[in-house]
């Protein structure tokens, strides 16, 4: 038997009231989940972990998240805390900031799992999605063996989760505009609802109505009874709002006139098919994150399988459209190209291009719809990221999640740089519009402290001389006025 490595004393524990050691956990079966919060596969397996935690809630079994960051931004403790709250993680998390345990255990992919028995020995390892049954069997066997040997803990250790947020908005994800009626739609993701906000003068917004009762679930119906599960991307067209209901792995249609919601694609369960053409309601989708519309075609950023799909709204069929499913940045014909967790879409009718933020390769890319080609403007690879302005060939982003194209300008929610960037398609250059100064101490008169910095913005949309920003981890909608060069909060009235 191989002894498990104890937790280094200098690492920071989150979501628990005290540091943990293997000695404290003697008599427990412990599952280590090596994850990083940008990773869609890591997000997917959280449901498996919650299932296991609930199944063995009365047994001496605990899950410990070992947060091993990919991006520099993911080393920040405040950012990890926000991710814990956003993903509603109840177990303790150890911030393995410089990958100490990652290296000791020889981990090389996210997510990976280490199972430790009641005596502190490593039982086995596995990685990737779809491991629920394997883990469940191993956990049960280890608990039974501990009981047989008389070495099981008589009482389960008490660990109290201590990270939560409460506000009008809770991790708002994406935005859409009804320009005719001056309404901003906000996917209030962690409240599992959509807000319709009437934009008024002086950056005041009044909630006209709420779509969804706030309970997590998968149910069609009227606005008061419908359920969503962490909705993200939206697109408005002719009194209809299309929703990427991300953790239901479905596309929902909202008829704003009839005040009804119905599912138009997906089964409500996560799917893994990368090649499909057929009825939209007969296939399981995988974390649809954003939407764009071109005539009767609805484009879907299928983040979970690194593809973009296309739905024909006239005959309710759907197909994989761009990306082979391999996670990478490869420009090629539609089906031969490689994408990496596409998370933001914006269609440019004048050029017949679908621009997208390809988050895991920190890239700005587009599909030439007429030629059937995927091309990259900014982005080098899975581990090439940063904040660098100038020519596209040399520029760097860091895990962008949202974009909006307007003429020759693309506004980018450069999420892990806490920034809004402007890409100029005429000059092929990028510059900062709003950038978060380095964290530190505020001094009297320091203009960097006059305005609340952005905190992992997830989306941006240009409308009526202003930029509306989903400032996700600040739980706010921010407004940048181009005329006044000012950044303010949208004051929301209920």
| Helix-helix angle 132-149:40-55, to 10 degrees | 40
Domain extent listing, the chain: 2-149, 175-493
Q: Which fold has domain 2-149?
A: Glutaredoxin (3.40.30)
Q: Can you give the pLDDT at residue 438?
A: 75
Q: Can you give the pLDDT at residue 150?
A: 97
| Ordered strands of the 466-471 beta sheet | 459-463, 466-471, 476-481, 486-489
- Sheet strands (E) in 212-352: 221-222, 231-237, 240-245, 250-255, 260-265, 277-279, 288-294, 297-302, 307-312, 317-322, 342-348
Going by C-alpha positions, the residue among 422, 425, 420, 431 that lies closest to residue 389 is 431
Cα(396)–Cα(389) distance, integer angstroms: 7
Low-confidence residues of the chain, pLDDT below 50? Answer: none
Going by C-alpha positions, the residue among 261, 302, 297 that lies closest to residue 283 is 302
Cα(285)–Cα(268) distance, integer angstroms: 8
Residue that has been written with the tokens 């450069």 in this structure:
414
Going by C-alpha positions, the residue among 326, 341, 329 that lies closest to residue 290 is 341
Cα(263)–Cα(88) distance, integer angstroms: 25
Q: How far is CA 67 from CA 84, 124, 204, 409, in A?
A: 10, 19, 39, 36
Q: Return the structure tokens found at 162.
A: 């201590």
The HSE-up count of residue 428 (CA atoms within 13 Å, CB side) is: 8
Domain 175-493, CATH: 2.120.10.30
Cα(413)–Cα(436) distance, integer angstroms: 12
Q: Can you give the pLDDT at residue 94?
A: 98
Average model confidence (pLDDT) across the chain: 96
What is the pTM for the complete model shown? 0.93
Residue that has been written with the tokens 């997000």 in this structure:
43
């Amino acid at each position: 038997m191989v002894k498990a490595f104890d937790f280094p004393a200098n690492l920071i524990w989150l979501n628990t009231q005290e540091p943990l050691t293997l000695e404290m956990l003697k008599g427990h079966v412990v599952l280590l989940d090596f994850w990083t919060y940008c990773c869609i596969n890591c997000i997917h397996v959280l449901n498996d972990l919650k299932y296991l935690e609930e199944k063995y809630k009365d047994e001496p079994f605990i899950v410990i998240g070992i947060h091993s960051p990919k991006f520099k931004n993911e080393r920040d403790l405040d950012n990890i805390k926000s991710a814990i709250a956003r993903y509603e993680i109840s177990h303790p998390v150890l911030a393995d900031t410089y990958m100490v345990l990652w290296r000791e255990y020889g981990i090389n992919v996210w997510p990976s799992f280490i199972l430790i028995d009641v005596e502190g020995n490593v039982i086995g390892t596995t990685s990737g999605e779809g491991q629920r049954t394997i883990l469940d069997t191993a956990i049960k066997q280890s608990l039974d063996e501990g009981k047989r040997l008389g070495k099981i803990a008589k009482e389960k250790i008490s660990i109290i989760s201590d990270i939560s947020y409460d506000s009008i908005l809770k991790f708002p994800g994406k935005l859409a505009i009804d320009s005719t009626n001056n309404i901003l739609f906000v996917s209030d993701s962690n409240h599992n609802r959509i807000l319709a906000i009437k934009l008024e003068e002086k950056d005041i917004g009044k909630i006209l109505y709420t779509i969804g009762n706030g309970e997590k679930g998968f149910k069609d119906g009227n606005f008061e009874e419908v359920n969503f599960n962490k909705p993200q991307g939206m697109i408005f067209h002719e009194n209809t709002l299309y929703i990427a209901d991300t953790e239901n792995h479905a596309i929902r249609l909202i008829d704003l006139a009839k005040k009804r919601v119905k599912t138009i694609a997906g089964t409500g369960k996560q799917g893994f098919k990368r090649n499909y053409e057929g009825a939209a309601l007969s296939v399981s989708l995988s974390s649809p994150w954003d939407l764009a519309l071109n005539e009767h075609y609805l484009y879907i950023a299928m983040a979970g399988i690194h593809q973009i799909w296309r739905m024909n709204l006239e005959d309710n069929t759907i197909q994989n459209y761009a990306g082979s499913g391999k996670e990478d940045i490869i420009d090629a014909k539609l089906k031969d190209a490689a994408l990496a967790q596409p998370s933001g879409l914006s269609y440019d009718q004048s050029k017949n291009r679908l621009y997208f933020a390809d988050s895991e390769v920190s890239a700005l890319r587009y599909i030439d719809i007429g030629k059937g080609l995927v091309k990259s403007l900014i982005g080098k690879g899975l581990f090439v990221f940063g904040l660098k302005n100038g020519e596209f060939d040399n520029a760097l982003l860091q895990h962008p999640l949202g974009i909006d194209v307007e003429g020759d300008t693309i506004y980018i929610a450069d999420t892990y740089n806490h920034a809004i960037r402007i890409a100029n398609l005429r000059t092929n250059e990028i510059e900062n519009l709003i950038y978060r100064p380095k964290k530190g101490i505020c001094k009297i008169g320091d203009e960097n402290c006059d305005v609340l910095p952005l905190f992992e913005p997830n989306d941006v949309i240009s409308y009526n001389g202003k930029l509306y920003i989903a400032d996700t981890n600040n739980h706010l909608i921010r407004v940048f006025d181009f005329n006044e060069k000012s950044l303010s909060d949208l004051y929301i009235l209920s």
